[in-house]
Amino acid sequence: MDHALSQKLERAEGTICASFVSARREVSGVPASWHDFGGTYAIFDGADSPMTQTFGLGMFTPATPDSLAAIEDYFTSRQAPTAHEVSPLAGVEVLALLIERGYRPIEHSTVLVQPLTGRHAAPETGPLHVRTLDAAHRAAWVEASVAGWAADPAISGFIRALAEVGAANAAMTHFFVEREGALLATASLGIHDGIALLAGASTIPSARGLGAQSMLLAARLDAAHARGARLAMMLTSPGSASQRNAERSGFRIAYTRTKWLRAASGG
């Protein structure tokens, strides 16, 4: 793990998240947009969306008071707070500058990686089958994605909106596990510059423990390798069950990021 690899990971996630902008406008009418501020990708997905943030701050060009002011103007002009997902390889100087400008830390995320060196066969699990999403299953895929997060009603609205936009995003490949025509689990894959981002894993409560996510993981890794990706990445909460499962599946921790927030008013 070094600065150059962190640049590639942050750029891949930022580019893939930016690909949601046109789909968001098409599906919901939100005036979503993104802008490149000297290598820092600023994405506006709506004032209340967790996807409204930057990627790559301090990784490509030094963060300065002037560059941060320009990014903050981008978000405040849209009545949105400014949030930055910051790699520790950007340096402590970036964190000191954020603190000086009134930001506060609100979240940690662990970045995990796995080299893609060969094919990944999906485990056999009897009546369960992995499929890639087609138009006929789009509505069911959205419902299954939302059902997988039913235990957390606070974010169910965001999950539905994200799933609807994700399903319409041609830059992403979506997968699901079905049993006798019923969708049990969902997941997504995005690829940029040889980096495969695995995201959106969700299983309906009644189907947990059946191995559906193991199937989806293998299917996405295999698809990424077949499309020429050299490295897979995924994001989890530090110390979570998702992180432990990822490590059991061959992923290793690259670094832990901090998300910093500054209210739209600057307070």
If one counts every other C-beta atom within 10 angstroms of the C-beta of residue 183, the result is 23
Query: CA-CA distance, 3 to 254, in Å (whole number)?
Result: 11
Domain residue limits, the chain: 3-109+256-262, 117-229
Q: Is-contact 207 218, C-beta < 8 A?
A: no
What pLDDT, on the 0 to 100 scale, is given for residue 124?
67
Which stretches in the chain have pLDDT values below 50? 266-267
Over the stretch 183-233, which tens digit does the pLDDT of each residue have? 999 999 999 999 999 998 999 999 998 899 999 999 999 999 999 999 999
Task: State the Cα torsion 33-113-128-150 to the nearest 10°.
Answer: -50
CATH code of the region 117-229: 3.40.630.30
Specify which residues 42 forms β-bridges with. 35, 54
Query: CA-CA distance, 263 to 81, in Å (whole number)?
Result: 5
